[in-house]
Amino acid sequence: MMQSDERVDILIAGGGFAGLALAIALRQGLGPSTSIMVADPGLGKGHEGDERASAIVAAARRLFETLGVWESVAGQAQPILDMVVTDSRVEDTVRPVFLTFAGEVEPGEPFAHMIENRYLLEALEKKAAESGIALRATTVTDFTPPPERGRTNADRLGSGDPHTIQAQFADGGGASAHLLVAADGARSSIRQRAAIAVHGWSYGQSAIVTTVSHERDHEGRAVEHFLPNGPFAILPLTGRRSSIVWTETTPEAKRIVELPDDAFNAELEQRFKLHLGEIHAVGARHAHALGFFVARSFIAERIALVGDAAHLIHPIAGQGLNMGLRDVAALAEAVVDAARLGLDIGGADVLEHYQRWRRFDTMTMGVMTDGLNRLFSNRSPVLRLVRDVGLGLVDRVPNLKQVFIREAAGLVGDVPKLLRGKSL
């Protein structure tokens, strides 16, 4: 039988972007009388090891602004002022530009910013601590669903309260909650314990991530070179630096990451070219294996999945975290609305409302990014012609481009309040 040390209203397993943003959003919407705990073994340990940077689209930036987090990281965020797409082979000396995007979603509001993950994660953790959210540096190892599920008495916990779920921690403690949120990433053990299957596959590709310093200013330009092994993205950071997300087949990515510095720089230069002058890789380099999945269900009894625990997509369009923040905003809104009506915040109606809101939208974005990757990551001359004609057409129709910009900025569809910059 599990022991439950503490009682909280909401327990969030995972203190990454999704878990921390959700905790702050719920705290703001529900007030201090609702107790919220985030459990993650990485809490309080800093984020220096994360070399990634993320494109934060306009809707996600509005959410961070509403949560009171954006102002503390704005100095580290680089607006993306325009974007160029090319389609070529590594050995091509000239890379014709097929598509350019420039513009703002509203006057003075760029469609996205680039920011290094560590700054945003540190700001979220600080805000969560200041907001009175309990931060527990431990792993959620197990949980017991409420008793209605047909468990025997021996499996049940504490009072046998049908309105609570019991979680067990690696440090020996535990907590009971009305709602357990799985924000524990793509390998979510809570999703697995809840027996929620996923539809998905591995791409056999990995993304090499590193930071590059260069001689000339990038002027806020993001560049996506579609190369046969996968996209090579140059994403502007503050100063004369850019974040590189460089997709290769997994064996090739492993080979490249393990090269000595000089040989690595030579491979990098071959793809980056010298349009920004001399370049140097600075900082660590890592390869992240890429896959795709969507969970068959985003909910189970008193459990909601958010972020990468619910879905994983290819970073080709820089949308994974932005999708996770859409989950966060939708779940927070559903829970806060229910609490104001005096309803059970972990009840089936609230969770089903959340799932209806998010699952279809997630499938749409998942299928789109998967299709983009398949269309571009190949050597077929026929597909190359098709995509280049397609890109050329989009480039010539300004209204169509504006539609794409708003879609990429996360401002299309049934957008939850926080992503529209409105408080709960």
Bridge pairing between strands 36-39 and 134-136: parallel
The least distance separating ligand FAD from the CB of residue 235, rounded to whole angstroms, comes to: 7
Q: Report the alpha-carbon distance of residue 322 to residue 301 in Å, rounded.
A: 26
CA distance readout (Å), 184 to 20, 44, 110, 353: 11, 16, 30, 21
> Which of 185, 230, 410, 416 lies at the binding interface for ligand FAD (CB under 6 A)?
185
Q: Does 47 bind ligand FAD (CB under 6 A)?
A: no
Provide the minimum distance between the beta carbon of 255 and ligand FAD in the complex, in angstroms, as a whole number: 18
How far is 266 from 249, CA to CA, in rounded Å?
18
Among 16, 110, 174, 410, binds ligand FAD (CB under 6 A): 16
Does position 318 interact with ligand FAD (CB under 6 A)? The reply is yes
Is 236 near ligand FAD (CB under 6 A)?
no
The residue within the footprint of ligand FAD, chosen from 4, 168, 176, 319 (CB under 6 A), is 319
Residue span 109-148 as binding mask against ligand FAD, x where in contact by CB under 6 A, dash where not: ------------------------------xx--------
Q: How far is the CB of 245 from ligand FAD (least distance, A)?
A: 5
The stretch among 49-57, 62-70, 89-97, 374-382 that binds ligand FAD (CB under 6 A) is: 49-57
Q: What is the 3-state secondary structure (H, E, C) of 45-84?
A: CCCCCCCCEEEEEHHHHHHHHHCCCHHHHHHHCEEECEEE
Instruction: Pick between residue 12 and residue 279 the one whose CB is nearest to ligand FAD.
Output: 12
Residue 309 or 339: which CB sits closer to ligand FAD?
309
Residue from 10, 11, 13, 177 that binds ligand FAD (CB under 6 A)? 13
Contact flag: residue 68 with ligand FAD (CB under 6 A): no
- The site for ligand FAD, by CB under 6 A, has a size of 33
CA atoms of 275 and 7, how far apart (whole Å)? 58
Could you say which residues in the range 76-105 bind ligand FAD, by CB under 6 A?
A: none
Rounded Cα distance, 185 and 354, in Å: 18
Half-sphere exposure (Cβ direction) of 397: Cα atoms closer than 13 Å? 11
Q: Between 288 and 356, whose beta carbon lies closer to ligand FAD?
A: 288
Q: For residues 229 and 344, which CB has a smaller minimum distance to ligand FAD in the complex?
A: 229
Query: In the complex, what is the shortest distance from the CB of residue 409 to ligand FAD, in angstroms, rounded to a whole number?
Result: 12
From the list 61-69, 100-108, 180-188, 373-381, the region that binds ligand FAD by CB under 6 A is 180-188
Torsion of CA 290, 294, 298, 301, to 10 degrees: -90
Our finding on whether 184 is near ligand FAD (CB under 6 A) is yes
Which of 76, 88, 189, 192 is in the footprint of ligand FAD by CB under 6 A? 189
> Residue 282 or residue 389: which is nearer to ligand FAD going by CB?
282
H helices of 377-423, in order, are 381-396, 398-408
- Residue 52, interface with ligand FAD (CB under 6 A)? yes
Tokens of 33: 């009388």
Q: Are strands 53-57 and 112-116 parallel, antiparallel or unpaired?
A: antiparallel
End-to-end alpha carbon distance in the chain: 38
Half-sphere exposure of 126 (CA within 13 A, CB side): 14
CA distances 372 to 162, 320, 377, 391, 394, Å, are 45, 14, 8, 12, 15
Helix (H) or strand (E) holding 329: helix 320-340
14 near ligand FAD (CB under 6 A): yes
> Which positions touch ligand FAD (CB under 6 A)?
13-19, 39-42, 52, 54-55, 139-140, 183-185, 189, 207, 209, 245, 288, 307-308, 315, 318-322, 324
